[in-house]
Amino acid sequence: MIAKGDKFPLFKYKDRVAGEFVTIDFNSEVKGKKVVVFGLPGAFTPTCSTYQLPGFDELFPKFVAAGIDNIYVHSVNDPFVMNAWLEKQDIKNVRPLPDGNGDLAVQLGMMVQKKNLNFGSRCWRYALILDGSTGEVLDVFPEEGFGDNIETDPFER
């Protein structure tokens, strides 16, 4: 699992911009910025949609006051799903970080299996602060209880 002081992995993803697929280099996008990245199990899931995503969106001004430039939500979903989720939730201050293949979740050590619920591979809930100038992870906050095939949602315990 990624830890404080580690380098954030190199990550590129596809998105649709003006009707065309483009490759976005996340590390270049955050160069020179301090950002928060938070990971969630899935778009449109009840807990993620009710609490975490809107919570980060609402608290954006406080993050800016603390020196954060941008906030990204990471999930093992494709860009179509991520963009539709943020649009449906009317999210204005959080940017999507789609990870359709789960590559970033694996590199971060945040991939878990939820096959017992027929959900497949999912991102574990976490938040981290990234210094985009150096690529250093300044702090990491993983949800407790990390593991595969957990029967319940740890957030709801």
Q: How far is CA 19 from CA 13, 22, 80, 91, 94, in A?
A: 16, 9, 12, 21, 21
Catalytic residue among 35, 48, 71, 76: 48
| Active-site residue, 48 included | yes
For 105, list phi and psi in degrees, rounded to 5: -60, -40
CA 111/CA 7 separation, integer angstroms: 18
Please name the residues in contact with 133: beta carbons below 8 A apart, sequence gap of 6 or more.
31, 32, 33
4, amino acid identity: K
**Positions marked active-site:** 48
